[in-house]
Structures are given as structure tokens and as C-alpha cells.
Amino acid sequence: MSEPLIILRKDFEAYIDDWIDLSVNVTNHQASGLKSREYDLRLCVEFLRENKVDEITPSRLMDYLKYARQQRDNAPGTCNRKRASLRAYIRHLRLRGVSGAMAFPVEAIPPFCVPYQGQQFNMEPAEVRRLLDALDVDSLHGKRDRVVMTLLYKSALRVSELAALDVNDIDFERGCISVHGKGRKERDMPLDADMTEMLREWLVVRDEYAGATRGPALFLSQKGNRLAVRTIQDNFKKLVDSLPEFSIKRVTPHALRHAFASHSLELDASDRQLVLLKSYLGHSLFKSTLIYARPSMKVLRQAMTEHVASEILADIRWLHKAPPRTCQQRRKVA
């Protein structure tokens, strides 16, 4: 007799903590990376409870994903993450011998189609300069935030990576800074002469904070604690809100990382530059770096201007009587 395609809700709910513990302490996954997966599963349990579902079928899991997409307005990419969370967790239930899990066809749940995102829109170099110039470097916090935002941009750090930096992560002898990235990955980032001087000056300013000698954190809060990710985000938002409108809709600390990558590829989009950028950004996979390789409007406009079509059309008289502009004239306008 074949196993029924049903998992009891009480069994589904019972092993979530066990899966998290196994993932962190045995298979070496990072706890922070599992938070979203755990949230997906807890939300699924909440959905099943509210709908009084005691026996989970594949159809019920599709109802959960439909609820996430239509009622919670989750993006297709977020729904795909929820789908992946369910697949990984039910594989764990199979490992634990939970009734119904072995035959449960979770792999048959179809993926969500993620729409093409088009060209990349990032802050222009002048906008990055305007953002940094707006900081009040006569104040203690202003000096700190100038160093914070400079590192977010020039070292392309994630906010969590920057907040985790310690004073001892800076190696002035080797001219680099050790960054603790996602998934316990560590990388050394080079420091040029300007950044070295900036960090030396910052270490002097840092001593003015209360509790500067109490902990190892490179960046401190007003109370002398490690500067939190949320505080960096809040301070950044206040600064952005005080300035004229930017060319992109969402200007966040992470936008500085995107801007660095985009500005790098606008200057040089060769394979070598992509390899360097992958290392710089701390990516494990090239597909993560290729997200930044989508051409900006500036690059598309330049490519159109330099295309052979411009040479061909330069000699063609248009409907008006005036002769068309030469390629050199068009390039000057572009």
C-alpha cells in the first residue's frame, strides 16, 4: 500500500527547531542566513492554523504560496524563496522519517516566473559626491558617518559587513582590511593611500567616543556600543531625506555598493574586470556579479552613439532640408 500524500500539521510544526539546529551546528550554515527560511516556515504554520488545516497536502502548500503572492503581495522572487524553504524542510522531514514526507511531491510545486528587471539604475558619481559632501564633518557623528559611507562606497561593503568591523581588522602594514562576509566568508580588501589616511584619522577621532576602550568595534554609537545596522540605515535615510531628489527611487546604504559596481563596469566591462569585481564584492558565484553587468542608460546611450549605424546614417539626408549632424557632432551632444 502506497504512503498517503499527507503530512500532519503537528509533525510539520514539530521539527522546525530541529532543522535549524541541524543546519547551524552540523551542516555549518550561518544562523543569519536561515532567519528568512525559518520565517517562511513559521508563516506557513500560521496560515495552516488560521485555516484550520490539520492534514497538509500539496494543494494546501500551493494555497499558502497563493496567499503569499496575492494577499501579502510578495514578489515572485520572495515566493520562490518560500518554495525553496518548503522543499528544503520537507527533505529534512524525510530524513527524520516523518509519515507522509517520503512520498510528498514538494518538488512538483512550480517555480514563480521572475520578470526581467531591465537595465540597472544606480546613483551617478555626482550624486555619491553630493551625499558625502552633505555630511557635517565638524561634528563627531558627521566624521564617523563620512568614514562609514566612504567605506560602503569605495570598498563596496554590505552594511552588515561594515557594522561587524573591528579595529584589529585594519592591517596598516599590509595595507588591507579584513571583511567578515555572508556565509562566514572572509576577504581582505585593499586600502589605498587616501583610505589609509582616512582610517588613521578616524582611529584618533574614535577615542573621543564614550567607551572607546571598552570594545573592539571600529564604529561606535553615541553610548559607546557597536554601531548597529539599523542605526546606519536610519542615519542614511535622514541624510537622503534632507537632500534634493535622486535619480533612483530607493537610495539606501546598499545603493552605494551597487553604485561602486556599476561605476566600475561603466569604465571597463571586460571579463577581467568582472573577475576583479566578483572578488571585490565577495561573491561566491558569477551569476551574483552578473546582476551588476546589466547596462545602465548611460552605457546604452554610449553604445548606440558609437555603433556603426551612426556612421551609416551620417550620410543620409533626413526629411528636413538641413544635413544630418556628423558622428563627431552627435558624440559631443551625447
- Catalytic center residues: 158, 182, 254, 257, 283, 292
The strands making up 170-171's β-sheet, listed across from edge to edge, are: 170-171, 176-180, 186-190
Helix (H, G, I), strand (E, B) or coil at 55: strand
In the block, cell 546614417 appears at: 313
Core vs surface per residue 15-30: b (16+ CB within 10 A) or e: bbeebbeebeeeeebe
Phi, psi (rounded to 5 degrees) for 57: -115, 165
Distances (CA, A) of 184 to 179, 257, 323: 10, 19, 62
The dihedral formed by the CA atoms of 249, 251, 256 and 259, expressed in degrees to the nearest 10: 10
Helix (H, G, I), strand (E, B) or coil at 279: helix
* Cα distance between residue 314 and residue 324, in whole Å: 6
* Cα distance between residue 334 and residue 328, in whole Å: 10
> Is 111 exposed, middle or buried, given 0-12, 13-18 or 19+ CB atoms closer than 10 A?
exposed
Distances (CA, A) of 70 to 38, 58, 79, 217, 249: 21, 18, 10, 43, 24
* Contact between residue 216 and residue 168 where contact means Cβ atoms under 8 Å apart: yes
